A and B are shown apart, each in its own frame.
Chain A
């Protein structure tokens, strides 16, 4: 059973471009969570999705950021018109139920130049 798969592992974007980060949860997991880790900081919750539904997006910046988890395919975190402050590691986690432990992927390290 493969773990949580994120790709790409590293992503470089110029200011103003779009970044798309993908997350395939573990088999049997329908709950996905995205977290952001700024340099030298702990992880901060961004959004919680369950197949086709956004359950909690209270940690998402109001503009430029969106997330989806379609019926088929991976969860996508999309950042439009990236700025330098978006440079961070973005981690995805998944769980079979919201009350159970979530397991983290390897993360995508976004660098905006």
Chain B
């Protein structure tokens, strides 16, 4: 069974500073997803990472994948308030997504 661990579970960020969220998974995965969820809302797909060494960036967010270490990171550059949300990573074999527990991010001034 594919297990996914995320850390930290809670992250209080100061505006303007950089932070990283880590996602480890237990067995081989086809793809690695990062999602954002705002309270009471659905999941918004941020990144899909397909291969070892993949790096994707969108605005202040950058995601990377190391398949040998079974590790993905989500790096946040110069945090701003509107990045406050819960971030999930999910690994997949075939169709089934296995989610981490999520990282709740709060950005303070």
Point out residues on A near B: beta carbons under 8 Å. 31, 33, 35, 41-45, 48, 55-56, 91, 95, 98-99, 101-107, 109
CA gap between A107 and B65 in the complex, in Å: 29
Point out residues on B near A: beta carbons under 8 Å. 4, 6, 31, 33, 40-43, 45, 48, 88, 90, 94-102
Contact B100 A42 (CB under 8 A): yes
Output the nearest chain A residue to B6 by Cβ-Cβ distance.
A42
Q: Which residues of B contact A99 (CB under 8 A)?
A: 94-95
CA gap between A8 and B91 in the complex, in Å: 29
Contact B101 A41 (CB under 8 A): yes
Q: A42-B88, A42-B102 are in contact. Are A35 and B97 (CB under 8 A)?
A: yes
6 A-B residue pairings within 8 Å (CB atoms) = A43-B43, A43-B90, A43-B97, A45-B97, A101-B33, A101-B48
Which of B33, B95, B100 contacts A48 (CB under 8 A)? B95
Q: Which residues of B contact A109 (CB under 8 A)?
A: 40
Q: Which residues of A contact B4 (CB under 8 A)?
A: 42
Contact A98 B101 (CB under 8 A): no
